[in-house]
Homo-oligomer: A and B are copies of this chain.
Amino acid sequence: MAPKPFSLSVKVVVRDASGRVLALRRSATSRANSGKWEFPGGKVDAGEAFDAALVREVREETGLEVELDHVLGAAESDLPARRVAYLLLGASSASGQVRLSDEHDEFRWLAASELGALDFCPQFRELARSLSGSGVRVG
């Protein structure tokens, strides 16, 4: 039996100038995890540099110009027909002025310590909890 395909998704934990972190709520019309919270980012298109692709994805989903800084961790999602490997990076945004696409219907800027209280997509719960723990560096 052939293994399930594995795809890659890169998510970005964006901080504003005061260190708050941006969480996005998936629209009610999302195919999976509608109403759950996540971070901006997504599939990195073929034929585009990794960092430029990520900055573009975040801009399209949030209107923010971000500067990538550090690798924060990894996660995985095992779906019926495929698996997704997630790489999570930190980034900073000078403006903090969010303009959502139709992929999301709400956003919140939160202290890292508040992230654990949101109902995140299952694959991001561990990261949200670890970011909200004391002493964890988000940036």
Query: Which residues of A come within 8 Å of B, CB atoms?
Result: 3, 5-8, 10, 44, 46-51, 54, 67-76, 85-89
Contacts and interface: CB of A to CB of B under 8 A. Distances in A.
- Copies of chain A in the complex: 2
A interface majority secondary structure: strand
Contact of A71 (B44, B46, B49, B74): B74
A105 B61 CA distance: 45
A44 to B, nearest CB: 7
7 contacts: A5-B49, A6-B54, A7-B51, A46-B48, A71-B76, A73-B74, A74-B87
A87 B47 contact: no
A87 to B, nearest CB: 5
